[in-house]
Structure 1
């Protein structure tokens, strides 16, 4: 379920700006309704305030959704567009996201569930080189690790579906032919594999959500998935305020201005730094 539009109410102290930068308290009844309905504000890109009149501004237009909506549209994003012939700015809702990241640009990240695999320790022992150049060893290990992930570890979701399918077939066989010691043992081993993959799935979503607390064994993947989806949306840059004060929504222009900003930030104004002689001899 999702609700969007002009609620004419605020959720936080920063949602309204009055004369001389004053702030007023958010509407308690609106906050209570959001909490009791278990709705979530999924954030936005673009200008903060969605309504302006004179010197007063506020963020009263928003999109609120529940966890089922988040799971159905994990890549959804909201953009505040410039105001035109109205004192409200329009909200652009994209269910697939504005700027999808290219897979080729994604950096290598260590996948926490790998360490839960019974072969991971031996894999590290066999593939980590203690001699030679550190950077070369890192790159070689990453290559072998990604290959091991594809060939041995596999996709957690596909493994879970496969195990559930096997369990369903086994239960059907037991219902038709009756239970036996062999079938009971097979079912026990299958449940052990399912528990293992569920624990790996829980750690996977925990890592993606970067949750600050965790109690292993709850299998609360729905909660972690919700956090991960929210974090993924907040990590996207879909609008950027330029030096001119205008907002840019073009991916290529955002990329160029972002690159320019960090190039300027990390460029020394005076590269002619004097050498420091510590009068220390190294062998």
Structure 2
């Protein structure tokens, strides 16, 4: 089926002449399956703390979606700072006067908007930094077996875990 991404799916975590990288993991398909899913695509990913790279099979065509309003997601890292609780308290204390259930809905909306704004001001573009760390790891893993630098690879893995 072919693939996109790094050339191997397993590495023995050794450097130099002792380094071994192999493409152990595959997707297999017969002609009937390939005709049923002509846009299928296999991608080798990068793993921060595993000697196996994930492989993903996409069976639907890549259709660009319109940019729409992103759904709100609460990030676990927010609770580590004491400011998060204050942002929530301030947003939740506002009385909209719509009636019990509508007030709750408005408070949730106000809270999510306040947290999103606070997140952008305090944490910046976390998702962009995560993607940059993934790219750095993929680049480190895509290197030649004999030139793989374990220190660089470990640093890329650590960056992704932070």
Fold equivalence (TM over 0.5):
no
More contact order relative to length (CA 8 Å, sep ≥ 6): 2
Structure number with greater Rg is 1
TM-score where L is the length of structure 1: 0.25
TM-score where L is the length of structure 2: 0.38
